[in-house]
Amino acid sequence: MPRFLIPLISVLLLFPSIALSNPTSRESFEWDGTKITKFIGNETDVVIPDGTTAIGKEAFMKCDSLKSVVIPEGVKAIGDWAFLYCDSLKTVVIPKSVKRIGAGAFSDCTSLTAVTIPEGVKVIRRTTFSNCQAMKSVVIPKSVTKIKKNAFDTCSSLKTIEIPEGVTEIGEFTFRFCCSLTSVTIPQGVTVIEIGTFSSCDSLKSVVIPKSVTKIDEGAFRECHSLTAVTIPEGVTEVRQEAFAGCASLTSVEIADSVKEIGPGVFTECPALEKWIISSTHPYFKTDGTALLTKDGKTLVACRNSTEKYRIPEGVKEIGGCAFDSCDSLTSVEIPDSVEVIEWRAFEGCIALTSVTIPDGVKEIGSYAFSCCRSLTSIVIPKGVKVIEFSAFEWCTSLKTVVISEGTTTIEFHAFEKCESLTSVEIPASVTEINWKAFNDCPNLTIHVPKGSEAERLARWYNIPFQTK
């Protein structure tokens, strides 16, 4: 068979109604020389005329009756948002002559089922194919080196994708909500897995992270509910906040010796997590089987979500951000006298936690530290805590009594908001600032304040029920 017939036969097989029709009349378009600036026709199947060199910005935007497009050889560029919101578009033929596909060019083409990006395209720009919900396959050529942010965001039917070895950049949220994607191999050369790149890929069971990666950024794999195991390879130095949060099926994580920093909440909402695999010679981290700690034992980084009771080791000075977040089976925790800082969201969502004793040495309780601890009934704030941060005890719906020790100066906004069972808060003379929303939606509350104190004045000003002592 003559080689020149092969492309023609391919088009005939795939799109017979298009291939056998004549080019769409030039009168169906507005032109700037050889560039199409706007489609003004009513055709549902469009064959762009020969001689066209470019498709302009927004040229076919919101052509919601358009079903198919054949772009001829000679077209070099498809403009930004060229086919945006063409929600009936099922097929598009892009020729090898195209070297640039603009940002959002096929975004929200919700009926588009497949696309082959031609060799020569180097960059897949931001949102190029975002929300193409029917797209099941995409061919990315070897010429591509960068895939920009949100490029395939919410391509919810996409099951597999082969990312070429030449790709060195995969942008933020590129494959977010690709909920049919089952596996992915990130090519050698990529150095950063960006913010939310694979977040909410519900069917993703396995991922291969190359040794070229040095950072796994915030929420990179958040809520990948089918991911069962992860190996963070040698070369990665930093795993940022909530990188694997909400990975409900994740049972084990292997952490290479190169990892120096693990951010807050990296493993929160991972109820199936059984173990961290860490070498005994790891220079930065260690585990006691239940918790992940820094090598020096001064910071508790994370605790397994399935933990019911835990005694924090003596020597820990800081309970890290989100360390016990969503440990919804945790009923009791012993905090040693060595602890000085309870970071933000440290115990957020520990819905079974009934009591906790905060040692006198604690100087800081971060925002949301005990938020949504719905079984907690009482709390004593030690004298070293100067500020009760915003939302620190918000939504503690069983909390009845709070004693704030002398030394505290400030109660921030929402600190005890929606503590609907709260009846009594003892406030010392040292408190000079109470935010007007600190006790919002606490219908049964009476605060107890020293007579003539600034706290009394503020209670009167904000109309908070109070008694003097």
Residue 340 has pLDDT above 50, yes or no: yes
Region 265-269: mean pLDDT is 97
Same structural domain, 61 and 195: no
The pair phi, psi for residue 4, each rounded to 5°, is -70, -15
Same structural domain, 195 and 256: yes
Q: Examine residue 90 and state whether it is found in any structural domain, yes or no.
A: yes
Same structural domain, 225 and 121: no
Same structural domain, 36 and 137: yes
Q: Examine residue 397 and state whether it is found in any structural domain, yes or no.
A: no
**Phi-psi group of 61: left, alpha or beta (phi > 0 → left; psi -120 to 50 → alpha; rest → beta):** beta
Same structural domain, 13 and 132: yes
Same structural domain, 108 and 212: no
Residue 20 has pLDDT above 80, yes or no: no
Region 253-264: mean pLDDT is 98
Question: What are 285-330's pLDDT values in tens digits?
Answer: 999 999 999 999 999 999 999 999 999 999 999 999 999 999 999 9
- What's the pTM value of the predicted model, to 2 decimals? 0.92
Rg for the chain, CA atoms, rounded: 29
User: Of 287, 320, 347, which residue sits at a domain end?
Assistant: 287
In the numeric block, which tokens belong to residue 425?
């808060």
Same structural domain, 17 and 106: yes
Q: Examine residue 209 and state whether it is found in any structural domain, yes or no.
A: yes
Same structural domain, 58 and 122: yes
Q: How many domains does the chain have?
A: 2
CA distance 192 to 214: 6
Contact 217, 192 (CB under 8 A): yes
**Mean pLDDT, all residues of the chain:** 95
- State the burial class of residue 395 (Cβ atoms within 10 Å of its Cβ: 0-12, 13-18, 19+): buried
Same structural domain, 205 and 150: no
User: Of 97, 123, 158, which residue sits at a domain end?
Assistant: 158
CATH number of the domain enclosing 55: 3.80.10.10
Residue 17 has pLDDT above 50, yes or no: no
pLDDT band at 21 (very low <50, low <70, confident <90, very high): low
Range of the structural domain that residue 102 is part of: 1-158
User: Of 287, 317, 350, which residue sits at a domain end?
Assistant: 287
* DSSP, res 190: B
Q: Examine residue 229 and state whether it is found in any structural domain, yes or no.
A: yes
Contact 197, 172 (CB under 8 A): yes
User: Which long-range CB contacts under 8 A does 44-52 form with residues at least 24 apart?
Assistant: 44/68, 44/88, 45/17, 45/18, 45/21, 45/69, 46/70, 47/18, 47/21, 47/22, 47/23, 47/72, 48/23, 48/24, 48/72, 48/75, 49/23, 49/24, 50/23, 50/74
Same structural domain, 104 and 232: no
Question: What are 362-407's pLDDT values in tens digits?
Answer: 999 999 999 999 999 999 999 999 999 999 999 999 999 999 999 9
Same structural domain, 62 and 148: yes
